[in-house]
A and B are shown apart, each in its own frame.
Chain A
Amino acid sequence: MDGTPLVTIHLTAPLRPYSAGAARLSIAAGTVREALAQLELNEAALYRNLCDETGALRPHLNVFVNSDNARDLRGVDTILRTGDVVTFLPAVSGG
């Protein structure tokens, strides 16, 4: 993965049981889509919490790249740069 940006995946508490308790993961990924592909490959249990079986991001999850919602950028095609923090957060909904 030479030249591929190293980014941090930040995990909220409900996701940590699927990452052996880790709150942060370092991965090499040039886009959010690549980050998800890396997680599917190396963190399958965690990935299943983020994406459904069609590969689509679960509908009530928001992905933030640093402080920006990826939806307001280029969605899963949002470009990542070394040092970026990618956070998966449940949407504020429900009761």
Chain B
Amino acid sequence: MPNAISRRELLASIGASGLLLPRTASAFTVSAPVAPVVIARCKTYEPSELTPVLDGMFDKLGGLGKLVQGKTVAIKLNFNGGPTVRLGHLPLGDTHWPNPNLLAAAMHLMARAGARRIRLVEGAAAPRTDPFEEHMLDANWDPQQFLRAAPRVEFENTNYTNAAKKFTRLSVPHGGLLFPAYDVNHSYADCDVFVSIAKYKDHPTTGVSTVMKNLFGLTPLTAYGNGAGKWEDNDLVYGNDRIQIMHRGSRQPSMGALPEIDPKSPRDDGYRVPRAIADLTAARPVHLAIMDGVKTMAGAQTPDPRCTPIEPGVLIIGTNVVNTAAVAIAAMNYDPRAPKGTVPFERCDNKLLLAEQLGVGSADPAAIEVIGPSIREVMFDFRALREKRRAQQGNGPGGRGRPQN
């Protein structure tokens, strides 16, 4: 059958043509599951407010115990940008990193629910011999806060192979959209429960950054970063982003990671990065997604002069990462099903719909049970801020701002 086309090739070609992303699941998609998403108001990061609110949210989700009791939990942080870059004077946890008090509260509740071990994981742009805790201290976080939150806490910089001595290969079910598999630190495989915690905010490359975009950071810089192939031996840092390999596709990964499926596919980050994120959500299922919208920022993923600090005063959690991201994006006054070329996906494919097609979860808020205040009640108008930025600068997310990792 010389004219035969695989399902993967068909998906890729449809996506490249802009025809992808129907409003309802197509014949090519796998059934997209739905699970409840819990919304709660939370005005501050004071533990006296935060912990009971989060505790109540977990209860509404069915209880933490059945998820974490006796389990090893890996929590993927969302440390984008350098640890010493702030939006104005604001601590990173008030703008673009998840707040440390929220993280500690979640860890405390997990420990109380019987979690056996909690491992904080992130690909920190730091040399191999720098303890991950030192990266936190550089940001003026106190690692002791997390060590006190649960009895057995570990830290792992997932840019390196560390004790495992090699990366673990996560294959993408149904073949993958960009790569057939991704080589990652063992902690992403050696866990019973995988948690993604992140702020919701704008993103120049993929429109929005949420618990889904956080998974882009699973890819170790030693294999997928600009310095891939130079790191492991010399113990130095060469850049902290994945622009060359993941965004632009100007070279293939290092350290034995598999090359991409189609080297002739578009070398456009608006095509590539959403597909990598969708792949990773399928390859490494998230058991618990925690969206930090108490305080965050609009305008970009990492601070720059376009950004505005904001305080939506909201937490959103769910057990399905796409469902949770869809609800959060709707709460940003964006359409999580918007096609490429429209707000907030002006110049990129919609990663939620791509993940939906891979069967990870539904991106349709109307299909998702929301527990707590309605989306409308907690909505913060990122869209209006976006339009205001565009009017002022002509270069907000959706324009051709600097690529952000």
Are chains A and B native binding partners rather than an unrelated pairing? no
